[in-house]
Structure formats: structure tokens, C-alpha cells
Structure 1
Amino acid sequence: MHRRALDHGGVPSAAGHPGHGPHWRRRFIERGLDGLCDDLRPGVPRKTTDADVERVIVKTLEETPKSATHWSTRSGLAP
């Protein structure tokens, strides 16, 4: 394992970035599995809701686009 991919404890850090491992480990110790989810970030709130994400996933898994055999970047998922 590459030396820079290790944090101070000898454990590979998140995404191979030095110093990120202790951050995630601390969040896990403090909050359990919920600590591994992304925290809210500053800036404009996201426009895509969880319901939108679920709709797209269900649509791509359960339907085939008109005049096509599979979904692609050109198939379109407009409501």
C-alpha cells in the first residue's frame, strides 16, 4: 500500500487522501452509521429531491424508453 494513502494509524484513509480517515472515524464514533452520511453543506440547497432520485431509479430499472432497447444519456427522463 502506498505510504501516502495511510493515515496516522496505519489504516487506509477515505478515498486515499491522507488525513480523511480520522475525520470519518471520529464522526462514526460520535454518531454511529449516521455519521457516515454527508452533512449539509453551505450554498444553494439542492434542487433534486429524494423523490426525484427514486423516480429516476425506478423508471430506469422497471421501464424501457420508447423506441429503444435500453436507457442511455440520450433516452431522456423528463417528467
Structure 2
Amino acid sequence: MRPWLKEMRDKQGFTQSQVAIKSRISRSYYTHIENGTKTPSVPVAMKVAEVLNFNWTLFFKNDSSLKEHKEQEVS
């Protein structure tokens, strides 16, 4: 599970469908990414991060905490 991703999405006021559309991926794929059952490819990670305004490399950090994710958000 990626609670930090859901929190970022909620903070932006987006639904999963809206993020998926803006990222040009299916809603079901985005749901899997947010639930942590799938890891996005680098291009998809970059698109989602651009939509939600954070550093895309956060998807690939296994040991980072929510606090660390918040500190690395792009302004």
C-alpha cells in the first residue's frame, strides 16, 4: 500500500480516475499503483508524479517514510 500516494492525491483534490486520465493510464492500473500491487515504469512514475507534484523517484524507495516523501515534494 502507498498511503503517501493516496494522501498526495487527496491533497490535490483528485479522484483516481482523474489522476489516471491526466497520466494517460487506465484507472485500474493507477489503482494497482496506489494500492502497491504494481510498481509503475519510469515513464508512468514520471507522469503520475507530474500530475500530483512530487519527485517520481519516490516510487522506487522501499524504505522511505511518509515524512520523507513530504520533504521531497516538489513545490
TM-score, L = length of structure 1: 0.24
Structure with bigger RCO (C-alpha 8 Å, 6+ apart): 2
Whichever of the two has the greater Rg, that structure is 1
TM-score, L = length of structure 2: 0.25
Which has a greater percent of helix?
2
